[in-house]
Amino acid sequence: MELEPLIGARLVAGFPGTEASPALIAHLRALHISSIIVFARNFTSVAQFTRLLRDLESGVGRRLLVMVDHEGGRIIRFSEGVTRFPAPREAARRGDAAIEAQGRTEAAELGRLGIHVNLAPCVDVLTEGSDPVIGDRAYGSDPAVVSRLGAARVRGLQDGGVAACAKHFPGLGAVARDPHKDLPTIRLDRDAMRRTHWPPFQAAVAARVATIMSSHVCYPELGEPEGLPATFSPRLVSELLRQTFGFEGAILTDDLEMGALRSFGGMGDIAVRACEAGHDFLLICSDLAMQREAFAGLLEAASGGRLSPAAVQAGANRAQLIRSQWVR
């Protein structure tokens, strides 16, 4: 297969507006993009949103894998057509069966809207004193509870036909600063992470979660260099998550436009480093120019040998597998 479609298969593009403009369609076609992420800015009504997806697919000439953050509480992107479930911390009081039923309801509603991947649940274990970026998005502070409820949500979503995503690996619940704004550091050693923050991800893997999202956070006590986020860490993404935890699904970055990565240079190099770490999907959630920069950087790296043909193909294969399993 030619390089351009392999690279385009790795990008997940967000975009402005509520219509499939000729410029947007041309952009998606030029970058061979097959996966998009949608936000409240793309939605005014069920009818409008259905038309948007239909027109985008007609314009690019292929089915699109459509993702959304639909966690409940303050993280809901649609103003109609979905049940507004409470934030996970509140929903946790309802127990396993209710959380699994919530996942099934979400899958039915999101499926009717044309969504294939729900970027939920958040399986971070909340730690006292952490930044409110997680807060009520977590099921709580007990790793056993978070593990149980996170796995229940995964089962409900995926049994209902929508892929789930456990986030934010290797654990964001102790973060002191919001990675949307700055690059944070979590100074917990391996034993502390193993006891508290890794069990929910292991439970999600055991529940056969389709995707896992990493975090833009530094973990120097896990043997990483100071200032290196998990986004760029082969040790955490390829070794810990793939080899140690045995995860075989697709690994996603968080939004590569976040402030946490601002000091690492241009989007082209950021995208290449994320691929080198072992990510399959790269989320670039709003800026079309940055998506073009990422595509160009990845193409140059693949053409010049910095990214091996085997690695490029393997990531594209996992991305394509998600599409073939969940786009119906």
**Residues facing residue 173 across a β-bridge:** none
Pairing mode of beta strands 11-13, 35-38: parallel
Q: Is the dihedral of CA 44, 46, 48, 53 positive or negative?
A: positive
**Distance separating the N- and C-terminal Cα atoms of the chain:** 24
What is the biggest distance separating any 2 CA atoms in the chain, rounded to whole angstroms?
A: 54
Contact 121, 100 (CB under 8 A): no
DSSP state of 142: -
Tokens of 255: 């939004």
Place of tokens 């160009």: 296
Contact 19, 26 (CB under 8 A): no
The H-assigned helical ranges of the chain are 3-8, 22-30, 46-60, 88-91, 96-113, 143-159, 190-192, 199-206, 234, 267-277, 288-304, 309-326
DSSP three-state, residue 11? strand
CA distance 169 to 235: 12
DSSP state of 124: P
Burial class (CB in 10 A: 0-12, 13-18, 19+), 137: buried
Active site residues: 180, 254
CA distance 27 to 310: 27
